[in-house]
């Protein structure tokens, strides 16, 4: 199908200093959780983005020196020539598809804990360690600044030797060059402190050093946070952020502009931001420079992208998360297949991977992070091994993904759903405040399934064991989901005495089924992800008084991993939520509950008309158990396998459910050699690599 002409502007080449990007699609630097320990996996991931049509593909943050060590998290490094060799395959993988390869040189300053290297932390001024660890960052003297410039220049030269086309000077996300820039972290009184011109001196020097060293062949990009979102005492887009851009306007070959205050601001989840949410803060940049500008904003709509270019907001469409959800987004637009884009839902499960120190994952794209490890490609899948028929029971995220991937392989698939609507838990979760985009997980798969001739979908079809045996499928997949527990068992395990039958106790399932709380509402969160906070927000918005009790030290504790926790707690506090932290549920009475402090055991009693339990979940496995209870009947029906997937096997995130469905489909009837993921192993150093 030909490209829609209104999107032609997105495919224009753009000059960036000495190099030219083939189009306006720019995968900005983003972490993968792979780093220097998994160079093959990282190269495969970046190469796939280039294959998908991204004109520029950048790496994650790349340390320039041992004093910028982010262990145990996964980062790249350019400390020596061995790192050059390790990064060269990534460059080759990107450039093989005609894209430009970019690298983000990084020094974290007081944000570098240096747990592995044990180097002292560096900072413009004496500064406490950012991550609440013993010790402080020491103030850099003139010799330190000169050494830092030398490290940066040497890393830039190594980047050029590795073959990169674009090399970043990184003054974003509160890292060292930005720490010099901000008056909140720079209290120096010499030529590197005081007025903005002095505080910007190091940034200017880094740009000049880098351009002098490699600017004849490589473009030099500046990634700058134009607003640190800490009020008028810091850098703001109306104040010194604007002044810095004006001061350095023509020095870099490209401006990559964003928001600081940590990654939580630059990659806000859909719960707290809309598409293009950074525009108000960064729109001024193009008016101050003739150089190309790129920024991000979770862009998934081609029309929104075109609007960004035509309205003069930016020259490129910057993307991290949308390029993860669909690495082939540009190619789909180019081929007139924009209705096939796998849109990012902004759940930030990708951010959780990096924050946990594990390889990248994605709710929408189950192949993300598996490009090298399992050999999965988002747009290609191996053909079926046989003409076997497969029955999938349950049209939630796991069942829908399994059905789609099986059908793409060529299997004949029957999908049976007990309800009228497809989507399972997505139908409920997407009704919660800020989670409307989550329905895209259902929509993408349901839309793709509709025209497939080898798929039959039966709605309002609750199946029993005999029904399954009569359908004549050789393989049966049970994706019947899970239900919330009513016994109070959650992350802290204990079952509160006297819970069953005492007072009015509801679960999220009851709320979604239409039951309304009565009297004072207490939400008990021992799940620690989004559900308790989102339900509390819903009822607060309805005008109810709500108290949230949790054994956690903060609300929705695990959402620290998705960079949402501070936003969640701030919003709920603004809405008037009463909180009882570090307490577990111990007893339920008629109109009250008793909670214990997890540290002291001291008890307190809270008025409670309705207790809403958000603790653990249990698999809905009745159909599976009924089938497995009669193995001879399965054999007589010609059923070769019965498999549980997703929440029916083990309740977890939507991302895990989608991955489970995809994995089942990929591995059906495949040999064990296909099912075993590859690992990158550390090799023994040769004698020349061993210090005497």
Catalytic residue set: 175
Is the C-alpha dihedral spanning 317, 319, 322, 323 positive or negative?
Answer: positive
Quote the strand ranges of 111-238, DSSP E.
121-123, 127-128, 136-139, 166-171, 219-227
Query: What residues have CB less than 8 Å from 67, skipping those under 6 apart?
Result: 107, 112, 114, 117, 119, 120, 121, 122
Residue 388 has which token pair?
């076997």
For residues 55 and 23, the answer to whether their CB atoms sit within 8 Å is yes
Handedness of CA 470, 476, 482, 487 (dihedral sign): positive
Say whether 617 sits in a helix, a strand or coil: strand
Six-digit token pair at 359?
């390889």
- Total Cβ atoms within 10 A of residue 282: 28
Q: Which residues pair with 317 in a beta bridge?
A: 25
Q: Which residue has the tokens 């990169």?
A: 164
CA distances from 326 to 344, 345, 404, 469 (A): 8, 11, 16, 38
Question: For the chain, how many helices (H) and strands (E)?
Answer: 24, 29
Residue 165 contacts residue 19 (beta carbons within 8 Å): yes
Contact 397, 646 (CB under 8 A): yes
**Mind giving me the DSSP string for 463-520?**
--HHHHHHT--SEEEE---EEE-SS--STT----TT-TTSS-EE-HHHHHTT----SS
What token pair was written down for 27?
Answer: 């995968």
Q: Which residues of 160-186 are buried (b: 16+ CB within 10 A; e: fewer)?
A: bebbbbbbbbbbbbbbbbbbbbbeebb
């Amino acid at each position: 199908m030909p490209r829609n002409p209104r999107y032609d502007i997105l495919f224009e080449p753009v000059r960036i200093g000495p190099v030219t990007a083939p189009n306006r699609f720019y995968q900005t630097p983003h972490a993968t959780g792979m780093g220097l320990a998994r160079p093959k996996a990282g190269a495969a991931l970046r190469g796939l983005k280039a294959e998908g049509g991204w004109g520029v593909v950048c790496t994650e943050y790349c340390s320039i020196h041992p004093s910028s060590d982010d262990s145990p998290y996964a980062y790249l490094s350019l400390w020596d020539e061995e790192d050059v060799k390790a990064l060269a395959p990534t460059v080759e993988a990107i450039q093989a598809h005609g894209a430009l390869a970019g690298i983000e040189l990084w020094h974290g300053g007081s944000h570098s804990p240096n747990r592995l290297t044990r180097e002292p932390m560096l900072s413009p001024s004496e500064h406490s360690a950012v991550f609440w660890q013993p010790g402080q960052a020491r103030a850099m003297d003139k010799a330190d600044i000169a050494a830092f410039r030398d490290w940066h220049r040497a890393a830039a030269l190594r980047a050029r030797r590795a073959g990169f086309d674009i090399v970043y000077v990184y003054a974003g996300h509160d890292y060292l060059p930005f720490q010099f820039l901000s008056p909140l972290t720079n209290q120096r009184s010499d030529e590197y402190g005081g007025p903005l011109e002095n505080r910007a001196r190091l940034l200017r020097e880094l740009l000049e050093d880098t351009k002098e060293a490699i600017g004849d062949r490589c473009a030099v990009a500046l990634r700058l946070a134009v607003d640190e979102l800490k009020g008028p005492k810091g850098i703001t887009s109306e104040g010194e952020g604007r002044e810095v851009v004006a001061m350095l306007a023509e020095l870099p070959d490209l401006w990559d502009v964003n928001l600081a205050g940590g990654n939580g601001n630059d990659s806000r989840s859909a719960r707290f931001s809309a598409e293009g949410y950074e525009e108000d803060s960064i729109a001024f940049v193009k008016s101050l420079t003739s150089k190309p500008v790129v920024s991000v904003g979770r862009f998934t709509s081609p029309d929104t992208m075109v609007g960004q270019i035509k309205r003069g907001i930016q020259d490129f469409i910057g993307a991290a998360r949308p390029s993860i959800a669909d690495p082939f987004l540009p190619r789909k637009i180019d081929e007139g297949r924009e209705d096939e884009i796998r849109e990012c839902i902004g759940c930030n499960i990708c951010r959780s991977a990096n924050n946990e120190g594990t390889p990248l994952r994605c709710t929408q794209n189950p192949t993300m992070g598996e490009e090298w490890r399992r050999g999965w490609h988002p747009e290609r899948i191996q053909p079926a091994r046989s003409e076997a028929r497969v029955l999938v029971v349950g049209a939630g995220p796991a069942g829908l993904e399994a059905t789609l991937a099986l059908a793409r392989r060529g299997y004949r698939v029957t999908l049976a759903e007990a309800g009228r609507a497809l989507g399972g838990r997505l139908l409920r979760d997407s009704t919660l405040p800020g989670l409307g985009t989550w329905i895209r997980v259902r929509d993408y798969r349901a839309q793709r399934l509709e025209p497939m001739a080898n798929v039959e979908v039966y709605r309002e079809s609750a199946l029993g064991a005999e029904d399954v045996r009569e359908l004549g499928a050789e393989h049966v997949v049970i994706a019947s989901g899970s239900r919330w527990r009513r016994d109070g068992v959650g992350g802290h395990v204990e079952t509160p005495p006297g819970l069953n039958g005492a007072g009015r106790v509801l679960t999220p399932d009851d709320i979604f089924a239409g039951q309304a709380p009565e009297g004072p509402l207490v939400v008990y969160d021992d799940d620690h992800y989004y559900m308790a906070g989102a339900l509390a927000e819903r009822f607060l918005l309805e005008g109810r008084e709500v108290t949230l009790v949790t054994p956690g030290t903060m609300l929705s504790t695990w959402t620290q991993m998705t960079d949402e926790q501070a936003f969640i707690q701030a919003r709920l506090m603004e809405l008037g939520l009463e909180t009882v932290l570090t307490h577990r549920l111990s007893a339920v009475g008629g109109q009250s509950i008793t909670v214990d402090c997890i540290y002291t055991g001291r008890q307190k009693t809270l008025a409670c008309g309705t207790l809403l339990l958000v603790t653990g979940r249990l698999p809905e496995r009745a159909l599976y158990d009924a089938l497995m209870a009669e193995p001879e009947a399965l054999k007589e029906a010609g059923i070769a396998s019965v498999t549980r997937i997703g929440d029916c096997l083990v309740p977890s995130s939507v991302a895990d459910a989608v991955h489970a469905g995809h994995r089942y489909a990929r591995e059906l009837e495949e040999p064990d050699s296909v099912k075993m993921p590859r690992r990158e192993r550390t090799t023994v150093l040769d004698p020349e690599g061993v210090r005497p």
